[in-house]
Amino acid sequence: MNNDFEGREGDGGSSRNGDALALGIISFNMTITPGLTVDIIIEYQQKIVLIKRKNDPFRNRYALPGGFVEIGETTEDAAQREAKEETGLDIDINELVGIYSDPARDPRRHTVSACYLASGSGTLSAGTDAADAGLFDLDQIPKLAFDHNRMISDAFGKFSVKKIGIVRSPAKEFIDRWDDVVSEIVLDREYTDALDGLDDFSHAVIVFFLHRVRGEVRMKTHPRGRADMPCIGIFALCTPRRPNPIGVTVVEIIRRDENLLVVKGLDAIDGTPVLDVKPYIPLQKAKVAEWVDRLFKGQ
């Protein structure tokens, strides 16, 4: 067997376990398998980190930081190590973008890559396996080595959010009236200081993920299923069945205690993930549809 398995310099450096990686395509019972690699899309200073490859293939072409997974490593550990070695940055992994396994993705041999989206911190500097490291706006990414343009497209063709807290409510299931329901919004401790100043407002806007909503999303329906109401588009309604099941509700602030916010009128069941908290600033002369007035009047 021709042994040229030396690591993807610039797309991962030369491995410290060179001998092990030289046999990396051979497993027990001499079964031939692809090499396992990682690639990392690092967001840093609101830009994307790219390294310029020092070696062939794709010499002097920009690429994502990454490289081979070493024996005894998880893919997450390998991503953190390669990011540090090639860019000088520490990373927090946000999500797995995908697994890339096209046999032609590396011109030298068949490799399978786990691509991660991560946030970088520290000082950016090109490592020994890179000719340069630079920052690029998302709309100015050049033609990259391997299938790295596809990875970036996949990562940002979609978007992700993370929960910042959770709802603790006496309502374990959905109910008809939420006006008098008192709930607790328990934010993760890291967001405690972010609540400072919210006490100056009487109301807040809570953004949350409707994690228990199921059923068909119809483009038009009747408010609360009432046939005596007009059949209108869901973007003119507050129905929970939406293309993206996100709830937005104005609530009364009862009190705030460190990372705990006690509110009234939140239409979210116990365990609902919280995505954001904003102050409520009422608009003047706001207009609502006629059927909204009817609902508020109990008609």
- Peptide bond connecting 103 to the previous residue in cis, omega within 30 degrees of 0: no
> What is the residue whose two structure tokens read 């994307």?
48
Which fold is adopted by the domain 165-296? Answer: Elongation Factor Tu (Ef-tu); domain 3 (2.40.30)
Cβ-count burial 241-265 (b if 16+ within 10 Å, e if not):
eeeeeebebebebeebeebebbbeb
Q: Which of 94, 96, 104, 106 is nearest to 75 (CA)?
A: 96
Q: Which of 204, 208, 184, 207 is nearest to 257 (CA)?
A: 184
CATH number of 18-157: 3.90.79.10
- Measured CA to CA, the distance from residue 126 to residue 51 in angstroms comes to 7
For residue 127, give Cα distances in angstroms to 38, 52, 66, 85, 110. 17, 10, 12, 6, 25
Per-residue pLDDT of the chain (299 residues; tens, 9 = 90+): 333 333 444 444 444 444 444 444 445 566 789 999 999 999 999 899 999 999 889 999 999 999 999 999 999 999 999 999 999 999 999 899 999 999 999 999 999 999 999 999 999 999 877 889 999 988 889 999 999 999 999 998 866 678 899 999 999 988 888 999 999 999 999 999 999 999 999 999 999 998 887 777 888 988 877 888 889 898 988 788 888 889 999 999 999 999 999 999 999 999 999 999 999 988 777 787 888 778 777 75
pTM of the model: 0.51
For the chain, domain boundaries: 18-157, 165-296
Residue 197: per-residue pLDDT: 96
- 182 forms beta bridges with 264
The answer to whether residues 267 and 252 touch, using CB atoms and an 8 Å cutoff, is: no
Q: Which of 193, 203, 235 is nearest to 217 (CA)?
A: 235
For residue 255, give Cα distances in angstroms to 40, 175, 249, 250, 261. 42, 24, 17, 15, 6
Are β-strands 89-100 and 111-122 bridged in parallel, bridged antiparallel, or unpaired? antiparallel
